[in-house]
């Protein structure tokens, strides 16, 4: 019997080993299946939505396109759709976050029904975009778009139990906010610890905190913060103005439990911070950035950090305004500078212009020309001066060339005769040797005297008489041309 027992013992041992191997194989498969199921349950959720509200020109589409990584400037109408790629580096998972941008015109607010339903509302984040280049409309814009969202949520007719649960979730997230600690640089998107891992004391809410609870996270984004320097230079804005604006926005954020961030696409300021805060609020990624309140154009206040006392510290610097003063009274719209443009002068049609001129000329009385008025007077009134000159040919009127200086251009023949007469007179005066009397009369007198004394031939005197006659004729014609027209009194 002993050998038989020895033969049976090894077989029994082999059967036990096989059973152990089967159990280990089952445990291996169960561990793999449990790991796969765990990974599938921890994947990034899909169907998250960002609702963007704001005025036209506030930079909504440009901001979200920048977060998307696109540089296009295409602007839609009504309701625009974009998406953000969300990547979980720890689990190597990728998903898309829907972005719905409502038009700045209230006429299109009915399109919200295509973006937000009663089923998708718990997975939404509301973003109100305001423009820092137009700070005087900030509060009006926030109140308007918050009212639009509230009216739409009321129309969804969500059961009161579900709405109360969503509101309590927002209250809990606001109360449990703690200052972020330094995270590991290698894993900036590590998930935040779940509730129950770190129990802290929950403080009660303030009197003006979450009084307008929408049941979803809210974020206020101030765009175009690079316009702060422009407001200081051109509109004389001071530090007090920006502190006053910030205090009003922060009090609005307390009422809705919202976060606040100042951005600038032009200077690429706080854009990466905005993206990280969005994925933190929607996908529970770990967030390590603290609040930023030092720089007036790069403010960041996460939801749950702010309270009335911290806002009061900002209001202590007010000197010319009180915290309760109306927003519109202190932050006023600057007057519009009217540009003075030169009045545009349009050219008139040529034919129309000529017709007007013809009409004006026809209305004016006819005025006679100067030549027509002078010629009858000259013909009727004789000249007294030629008669005097005819009787006194030897008038001392200057040199013999005096008559040549002012010849009548219309009397070419008379001018030629005058030149010849002066030429012969000069020859006679040289022959007779009479000392310096240049005048025509003196030359004639000297010639006659010398002829009588020397007993010259009578032919020389005939030449002298002919020259005197030609001279008198020239003088009479020149004087007739130079006689002025008769005056009215003389007429």
Question: Helices 412-432 and 440-454 sit at what angle, rounded to 10 degrees?
Answer: 40
CA dist list (Å): 146 to 141, 245, 352, 425: 8, 18, 62, 119
Other beta carbons within 10 angstroms of residue 292's beta carbon come to: 15
- How many CA atoms lie within 13 Å of 178's alpha carbon, on the beta-carbon side? 13
Residue with tokens 């309590």: 168
pLDDT at 239 over 80: yes
Residues in the chain: 491
pLDDT of residue 251: 93
For the chain, percent helix, then strand, then coil, each to nearest 5? 50, 10, 40
Residue range 307-344, pLDDT digits in tens: 999 999 988 888 888 988 999 888 888 877 665 566 77
Of residues 69, 55, 284, 263, the one with CA closest to residue 169: 284
- Residues 398 and 438: beta-carbon distance below 8 Å: yes
Span of 83-92, 345-354, 412-421, 466-475 with lowest mean pLDDT: 412-421
pLDDT at 180 over 90: no
- Residues 259 and 302: beta-carbon distance below 8 Å: yes
Residue range 16-61, pLDDT digits in tens: 555 566 666 667 777 776 665 555 556 788 889 999 999 998 999 9
pLDDT of residue 398: 44
Q: Select the highest-mean-pLDDT range: 13-22, 199-208, 354-363.
A: 354-363
Helix (H) or strand (E) holding 23: helix 2-41
Burial class (CB in 10 A: 0-12, 13-18, 19+), 284: middle
- Residues 107 and 34: beta-carbon distance below 8 Å: no
Cα 221 from Cα 345, distance rounded (Å): 48
pTM of the complete model: 0.60
What's the token pair of residue 258?
């919202």
Average pLDDT, the chain: 76
Helix (H) or strand (E) holding 83: strand 79-88
Residue with tokens 């600057």: 334
Q: Residue 223: beta bridge partners? A: 131
Span of 17-26, 245-254, 273-282, 459-468 with lowest mean pLDDT: 17-26
Kindly give the pairing relationship between strand 79-88 and strand 93-102: antiparallel
Of residues 34, 471, 71, the one with CA closest to residue 266: 71
pLDDT of residue 393: 45
φ and ψ at residue 4, rounded to 5 degrees: -65, -45
Span of 9-18, 145-154, 291-300 with lowest mean pLDDT: 9-18
pLDDT at 408 over 80: no
Q: What is the band of 196 on the pLDDT scale with cuts at 50, 70, 90?
A: very low
Other beta carbons within 10 angstroms of residue 187's beta carbon come to: 11
Other beta carbons within 10 angstroms of residue 422's beta carbon come to: 22
Span of 68-72, 142-146, 177-181, 428-432 with lowest mean pLDDT: 428-432
């Amino acid at each position: 019997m002993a050998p038989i027992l020895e033969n049976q013992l090894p077989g029994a041992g082999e059967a036990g080993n096989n059973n152990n191997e089967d159990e280990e194989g089952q445990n291996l498969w169960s561990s793999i299946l449990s790991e796969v199921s765990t990974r599938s349950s921890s994947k990034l959720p899909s169907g998250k939505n960002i609702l963007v509200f704001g005025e036209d020109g506030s930079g909504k589409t440009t901001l979200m396109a920048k977060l998307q990584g696109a540089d296009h400037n295409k602007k839609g109408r009504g309701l625009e759709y974009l998406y953000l790629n969300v990547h979980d580096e720890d689990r190597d998972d990728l998903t898309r976050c829907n972005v719905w941008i409502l038009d700045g015109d209230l006429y299109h607010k009915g399109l919200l029904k295509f973006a937000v339903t009663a089923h998708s509302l718990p997975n939404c984040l509301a973003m109100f975009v305001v423009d820092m280049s137009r700070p005087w409309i900030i509060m009006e814009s926030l109140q308007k778009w918050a009212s639009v969202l509230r009216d739409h949520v009321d129309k969804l007719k969500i059961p009161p139990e579900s709405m109360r649960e969503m509101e309590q979730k927002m209250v809990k997230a606001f109360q449990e906010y703690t200052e972020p600690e330094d995270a590991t640089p290698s894993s900036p998107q590590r998930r935040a610890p779940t509730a129950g891992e770190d129990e802290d004391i929950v403080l009660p809410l303030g009197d003006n905190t979450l009084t307008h609870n929408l049941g979803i996270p809210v974020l206020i984004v101030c765009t175009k913060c690079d316009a702060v320097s422009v407001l200081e230079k051109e509109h004389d804005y001071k530090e007090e103005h920006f502190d006053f604006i910030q205090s009003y926005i922060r009090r609005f954020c307390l009422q809705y439990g919202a976060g606040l961030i100042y951005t600038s696409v032009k200077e690429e300021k706080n854009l990466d911070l905005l993206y990280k805060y969005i994925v933190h609020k929607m996908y529970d990624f770990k967030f390590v950035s603290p609040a930023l309140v030092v720089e007036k154009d790069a403010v960041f206040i996460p939801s749950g950090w702010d309270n009335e006392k911290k806002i009061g510290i900002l209001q202590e610097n007010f000197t010319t305004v009180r915290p309760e003063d109306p927003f519109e009274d202190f932050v006023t719209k600057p007057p519009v500078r009217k540009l003075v443009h030169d009045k545009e002068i349009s050219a008139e049609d040529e034919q129309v212009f000529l017709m007007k001129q013809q009409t004006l000329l026809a209305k004016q009385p006819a005025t006679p020309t100067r030549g027509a008025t002078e010629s009858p007077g000259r013909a009727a009134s004789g000249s007294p001066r030629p008669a005097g000159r005819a009787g006194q040919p030897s008038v001392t009127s200057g040199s013999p060339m005096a008559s040549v200086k002012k010849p009548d251009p219309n009397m070419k023949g008379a001018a030629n005769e005058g030149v010849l007469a002066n030429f012969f007179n000069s020859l006679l005066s040289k022959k007779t040797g009479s000392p310096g009397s240049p005048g025509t009369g003196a030359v004639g007198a000297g010639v006659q005297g010398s002829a009588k004394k020397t007993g010259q031939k009578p032919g020389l005197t005939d030449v002298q008489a002919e020259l005197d006659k030609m001279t008198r004729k020239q003088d009479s014609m020149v004087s007739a041309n130079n006689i002025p027209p008769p005056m009215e009194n003389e007429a």
